[in-house]
Amino acid sequence: ERVYLIRRGAVRLSRVYESGEEITVALLRENSLFGVLSLLTGQRSDRFYHAVAFTRVEMVMAPATSVKAAIEADTSVGLRLLQGLSSRILQTETMIETLTHRDMSSRLVSFLLVLCRDFGVADELGITIDLRLS
């Protein structure tokens, strides 16, 4: 029923299934959106998601009805939303490609490269991924 925009920080978004199993579906960074499914369905989703901050996070939240009204009033809002969704689709495709590597070491290397690109901070010693991941 709400749309969230991460202004600063990193968030892990996971899907919680009826069995209680929780699977990470996205690692989000600043300027990432989540909760947009409510815009498409117009109702509460039967899918349950869980968001956990990896770092200090600043977010903006708006009711889905307000976001819809803003899109209708100003097409540039819809365009920015579409850009955010496109970014999420590209991230999902990258994660799928990463997970399709056959052996564990290849998957790990691919995943670390994704983390370096999306969350890495370069310095003279290399790239630091400042996230607490298990």
Per-residue pLDDT, averaged over 41-56, amounts to: 74
Per-residue pLDDT, averaged over 33-37, amounts to: 79
In which band, very low, low, confident or very high, does the pLDDT at 44 lie, cut at 50, 70 and 90?
low
Q: Which residue has the higher pLDDT, 131 or 126?
A: 126
What percentage of the chain carries pLDDT values higher than 70?
91
Q: Which two tokens stand for residue 94?
A: 């990258």
pLDDT of residue 88: 78
16 sits in the region (left: phi over 0; alpha: psi -120 to 50; else beta) called beta
Q: In the block, which residue shows the tokens 């999420």? A: 88
Per residue in 99-123, pLDDT (tens digit) is 776 788 887 888 888 888 888 888 8
Domain 2-129, CATH number (from 3.40.50.150, 3.60.15.10, 2.40.160.60, 2.60.120.10) = 2.60.120.10
Listed in sequence order, the residues at least 6 apart from 48 whose beta carbon sits closer than 8 Å to its beta carbon are: 15, 16, 17
Q: Which two tokens stand for residue 47?
A: 């899918």
